[in-house]
Amino acid sequence: MTNELVVRRTQLPRSQMTHRAAQYVRMSTDYQRYSIENQAVVIAAYAQAHNLTIVRTYSDKGESGLTLRNRDGLIELLDDVRSDHADFGHILVFDVSRWGRFQDIDESAHYEFICKQAGIKVAYCAEQFANDGSLISSIVKNLKRVMAAEYSRELSAKVHAGQCRFARLGFKLGGQAVYALRRELVDETLQPKGVLKSGDRKYLITDHVRLRPGTCDEVAVVKWIFQQFEDKKSETAIARELNRRGVATSSGRPWNRGLIGRLIRNENYIGNLLFNQRSCKLRTTPTYNSPDLWIRSESCIEPIVERDVFLRAKKSSKNDVYACQKKRCWRGYAGR
């Protein structure tokens, strides 16, 4: 058996790492100038001008820069740096916004400091300042971080405003249709282009999605459910009967009390479309909005259920929920 000298990445002398660099590239849904290829060209030119050899690439394709979550490329880079597995002395990034659009600029600075602490320099190749630790560099870099974060906030506000406008016009925005309804793709003249299947998305900006009734069997099931409420049947009893009959839900899962309750309270069945009941901006925790912020587009869907029937069932459903909550509270009190 012969002994072989194995040179590990962490065993490279510091002198050899001086001219070795890794590049980090990221593309989300920004303009074409931020494509992976365009970033690589600028980074390569910077490396050549500074006598650096790119030995490793970390990339995140189609990922937002708002958080570190799901950015496997940057996570791997930071892990290599922390574990002393980095075999390079420089990290080359296109600009500050590619490093991240973190809403807390201290988070962006923290990840850069991790690299700096390990003796690895971070360079922003397309920026007009040198990341050399000088006062001017620090001021400009932090200003760029603020600008990157503000860009995301402004873009989020513009996107939300556009979504609200389309919701008022009666167009479906994101998510799957509820039971017995279908997502229909229409063009700019509102001419139908076909029904979208589960997981399908529209690709043209000029196209929109509207809801329409599904199959006759599904529509009949919805009408039957509302009729059962007219006959004072509970949500649990209705779900049990649907499962006994072998009626499938949209997801293929069994019916339950919660599904029936949400169906009964969904205004889609009387032709209304509601939007902005819940918000999740800039990857934050979803929050429920007050009713005055909801957007209700009326009579934009062919109704399945008569309005008075819907209102009576909705009221009965609320009373049923209240009764169950009261019953659970009494059980809890009695068990003390």
- Kindly state the average pLDDT of the residues 149-160: 86
Closest to 248 (Cα-Cα) out of 274, 278, 224, 217? 217
Beta partners for 208? 186
Indicate whether 296 pLDDT > 90.
Answer: yes
* Superfamily (CATH) of domain 170-180+214-325: Putative Large Serine Recombinase; Chain B, Domain 2 (3.90.1750.20)
Indicate whether 29 pLDDT > 90.
Answer: no
**231-290 tens-digit pLDDT:** 889 999 999 999 999 999 988 899 999 999 999 999 999 999 999 988 776 666 778 888
Percent of the chain with pLDDT over 70: 87
Indicate whether 201 pLDDT > 80.
Answer: yes
Element housing 209 (H / E): strand 208-213
What is the number of other CB atoms lying within 10 angstroms of the CB of residue 43? 25
Whole-angstrom CA distances from 314 to 228, 306, 320 are: 12, 12, 10
DSSP annotation string for 63-84 = --SS-STT-HHHHHHHHHHHTT
- Kindly state the average pLDDT of the residues 193-220: 91
DSSP state of 277: S
- Map out the domains of the chain as residue ranges: 9-152, 170-180+214-325
Closest to 281 (Cα-Cα) out of 52, 39, 64? 64
- What CATH number should be reported for the domain whose range is 9-152? 3.40.50.1390
**pLDDT of 174:** 84
Beta partners for 196? 183
| CB neighbour class for 20 (10 Å; exposed up to 12, middle 13-18, buried from 19) | middle
What is the number of other CB atoms lying within 10 angstroms of the CB of residue 280? 9
